[in-house]
Amino acid sequence: MDYRRTFTLPRLWWILFVLVFASFVVLLLVGGRLYQVAPPVPEKVVTSTGQVLFTRQDIQEGMDVWRSLGGMQLGSVWGHGAYLAPDWTADFLHREAEAIIERRSGRKISALTEPQLARYSAILGSELKVNTYNPETGVIVLSDERERAIRSVQKHYLGLFGANNSMDFHKLRIAYAIQEKPLGLNPDQAILKLSSFWWWTAWASVTQRPDDKVSYTNNWPHEPLVNNTPSAFSFLWTFISVVILIAAIGVLCWFFNRQRATWEDDLVPESGYAATDPLESIQPTASMRATTGYFWIVILLIGFQIVLGAVTAHYAVEGQDFYGIPLSELFPYSLTRTWHVQLAVLWIATAWLGAGLYAAPLIAGREPKFQALGVWLLLLALVVAVVGSLFGEWAAIQGLINDPVINFWFGHQGYEFLDLGRFWQWLIFLGLLIWLGLMARGILPAICRKEDDGHLLLLLLLSSAAVGLLYGTGLLYDRHTHLTLAEYWRWWVVHLWVEGVFEVFAAAWVSWIFVKIGLIRARTAAIYVIFSTAVFLGGGVLGTFHHLYFSGTPESVLALGAVFSALEVVPLALIAFDAHDHWQLKQASPWVAKYRLPLMFFLAVAFWNLVGAGVLGFLINPPLALYYLQGLQTTPTHGHAALFGVYGMLGIGMMLFCLRGLRHQGWSDTLLLWVFWLLNGGLALMVFGSLLPQGLIQGYVSFREPANNL
């Protein structure tokens, strides 16, 4: 079978369109369903005697307090967030269950025998799973016994976050890297509201859905004291996902290897490899030179992020203190982690945006009018957004912003990766739309010329549009949006934007550059990239659901997430071929040696794509694995290896390619070779020497003694 007849460009475009359209239809339909089945936020929570414990307003205001503390950067909720302080959902549920059992038994949990504890747990679990929410009145009714248990847990949080100076609470604050007295005005009132929000997340994690046998969070977290164990669906779809992964890899390998010989022959340009660098004679335009500013910003942000990562890691070992210095009082863990995570996304995105703007005049064949001005204005907007958001997050966590509305808009939103205030989020979104306009001014005229590279450029334009527009989905929730729905839209940005369309943009950008410098044939490159994009997005779009297994979603999300997160990994199994093709290009002609460093970073991208995104991603993606491993160090194992190893290395490689074009006289690669090996070696040591072993040990403890996760 000849791929040239089977996969014509028009047919590939139709395959890509149908796959992406169908995937987004399903994604939106499930999203619409979430609005109907998300765990209800009650109007009131009352005791059987009519005493009001919480109101909807208390829960919503508690969420505001949670934001002011750093949100998901201080512990996690429903498993999403930081890894130093506990998951507050699991923490509240465990402490509430423990308080009830100890009151009933008259003894400490540690004093009960296993049969006694099993008996109390079985009875308590059956009681707490009963759903007492009345949809007509919006009221949840609790027993007086449960009310007393909730009060005891609130007392614990009043001591932890309040002014209690006892040694036990002091040690906990050190272990969690929480500031002494982290809340500003009316701390006791704020802590009570905060605990009402955490109680609601715990209530949803144990209370069964109406007419169902699982809780709103599909029985997460694992808590034997209330008989919270994995659902049957978690087992079923975990096994199915493994089978699908093996079968799909087998089919793709068979097909790819059958066609590979033909593809390799057709990759070489018809006229042979270029004898000299075609970019050597091109004089950089004003806008191309302006992208140097983006790359300087990238270098500064990488340096700052590395420092923040070191401080954040140190907190994980020593708690509050930094070599005896109470650094956490000014820069607490929740802040350094906020900045560390946010800067990772920002410097990677800045590198990619700068690379796109560098290529725009090359694509157009001329400098569009006022292009340089637009490039500088966009850079200014990005700098303002970065600096403003960092300051706002510091002010929020330091308690300098007491108004929850101002905090949401200018301080800390509380959601991991989207921590920045809504105003700064809007500014970045508008900046991305400006970037899209600047890209379109270069790409559209080139597409209209209808040359051989037109299909690649069309994919580059579409992916640029997706980069600009998909970030805007993070604006589709507001301050009072239900947590389940906010998580749904947040993962559109984190998964689809960062892990999805940016990868398509990079593939199209790199392929077009290689076509431009005469190393691969335009038509074959287009077929290769469009086919790869179809395979990647075919699993990647609906793979978003693996982030939402336990976020108040129905069991159908378990099924979709398990299947399509497995399919996400399938194309990564062939990444070695892609790495081989890129690396072989350095032998095409002697002048290609000047691009050795970018090619080395592209080779690293292939390695970390397979290991970080593929192997370590699938380690935690099946429902049963994530049930036990969510919130443990296995998550940052995958996160660091995928985000920095893939997208970071790719951004650095693209940046070096552009800088090489801006400096034709060349430079010595000696120092950069050290940088390459130190970055990759350091990442490997962190992932395999620290994070992964910790995560596996934590996982073992989670399997046996879930209470020890607290």
Q: What is the pLDDT of residues 302-325, one digit of tens each?
A: 999 999 998 888 888 776 667 777
In the beta sheet, which residues pair with residue 47? 142
Residue 613 tokens read as 């995104």
Of 75, 64, 101, 59, nearest to 199 by C-alpha is 59
Question: What are the φ and ψ backbone dihedral angles of 344, each rounded to 5 degrees?
Answer: -60, -50
pLDDT at 708: 45
Scanning 280-323, the segments in alpha helix (DSSP H) are 286-318
Query: d(Cα 50, Cα 152) in Å, to the nearest integer?
Result: 19
What single-letter DSSP state applies at residue 422? H
| pLDDT of 378 higher than 50 | yes
Q: 406 exposed, middle or buried (CB, 10 Å; 0-12, 13-18, 19+)? A: middle
Check residue 709 and give its pLDDT.
42
Give the residue from 211, 234, 77, 208 showing the smallest Cα distance to 558.
Answer: 234
pLDDT tens track for 83-136: 788 999 999 999 999 999 999 999 998 899 989 999 999 999 999 999 999 999
The pair of three-digit structure tokens given for residue 551, joined into one six-digit string: 């976020």
What is the mean predicted confidence (pLDDT) over 547-554? 94
Q: Are 261 and 577 in contact (CB under 8 A)?
A: no
Contact 226, 543 (CB under 8 A): no
| Helix (H), strand (E), coil (C) string for 366-411 | CCCCCHHHHHHHHHHHHHHHHHHHHHHHHHHHCCCCCCHHHHHHHC
270 pLDDT exceeds 80? Answer: no
Strand 139-142 versus strand 44-47 pairing type: parallel
**C-beta of residue 63 within 8 angstroms of C-beta of residue 41:** no
> Tell me, what's the pLDDT at 185?
55
Strand partners, 87: 76
Average confidence score pLDDT of the chain: 88
Model confidence pLDDT, tens digit, residues 484-541: 999 999 999 999 887 788 888 888 888 888 888 777 777 878 888 888 888 888 888 9
Residue 94, both tokens = 């465990």
First to last CA, the chain: 58
Q: Which long-range contacts (CB under 8 A, 24 or more apart) does 5-8 make?
A: 7/527, 7/531
Determine the Cα–Cα distance for residues 414 and 400; give it in Å rounded to an integer: 16
Give the distance from CA 297 to its chain's centroid: 22
Q: What is residue 220's three-state secondary structure?
A: coil
Residue range 219-228: average pLDDT? 92
- 340, pLDDT greater than 50: yes
Asked if 53 and 473 count as a contact pair (C-beta separation under 8 A), the reply is no
**CA–CA dist 273, 520 (Å, integer):** 8
How many CB atoms are closer than 10 A to CB 425? 21
In terms of C-beta distances under 8 Å and separation of at least 24 residues, what long-range contacts does 574-581 make, across chains too?
Answer: 574/252, 574/253, 574/256, 575/606, 575/609, 575/610, 575/614, 576/606, 576/610, 577/256, 577/260, 578/606, 579/603, 579/606, 579/607, 581/264, 581/267
Task: Name which residue leads in pLDDT, 702 or 266.
Answer: 702
> pLDDT tens-digit profile of 134-188?
999 999 999 999 999 999 999 999 999 887 778 788 888 888 888 777 776 578 8
- The per-residue pLDDT for 555 is 92
Place of tokens 């905060």: 194
Confidence of residue 577 (pLDDT cuts 50, 70, 90): low
Q: What is the pLDDT of residue 253?
A: 78
How far apart are alpha carbons 52 and 141 in whole angstroms?
Answer: 9
Please give the C-alpha separations between residue 247 and each of 538, 567, 573, 614, in angstroms, as whole numbers: 16, 10, 12, 16
Q: How far apart are CA 658 and CA 292, in angstroms?
A: 9
Least confident of 284-288, 338-342, 568-572, 646-650: 568-572
The answer to whether 201 and 78 are in contact (CB under 8 A) is: yes
Q: How far is CA 223 from CA 27, 233, 629, in A?
A: 31, 18, 14
Single pTM value for the model: 0.93
Kindly state the percentage of the chain with pLDDT values over 90. Answer: 58
What whole-number distance in Å separates Cα of residue 629 and Cα of residue 650?
Answer: 28
Burial class of residue 365 (count of CB atoms within 10 Å of its CB; 0-12, 13-18, 19+):
exposed
CA distances from 688 to 613, 616, 675 (A): 14, 11, 20
User: What number is the average pLDDT over the span 246-259?
Assistant: 79
Does residue 710 register a pLDDT over 50? no
Would you state the pLDDT for residue 343?
94
Look at residue 579 in the predicted model and tell me its pLDDT: 59
What are 624's two structure tokens? 């049963």
Selected residue with higher pLDDT from 177 and 227: 227
Count of C-beta atoms within a 10 Å radius of residue 165: 10
DSSP 133: E
Rounded to whole angstroms, how far apart are CA atoms 410 and 432? 19
Q: What angle do CA 247, 22, 461 make, to 5 degrees?
A: 105
pLDDT tens profile 645-704? 999 999 999 999 898 888 766 677 888 899 999 999 999 999 999 999 999 998 888 887
Predicted confidence (pLDDT) per residue in 580-618, tens digit: 566 666 665 676 777 888 888 988 988 898 898 889 989
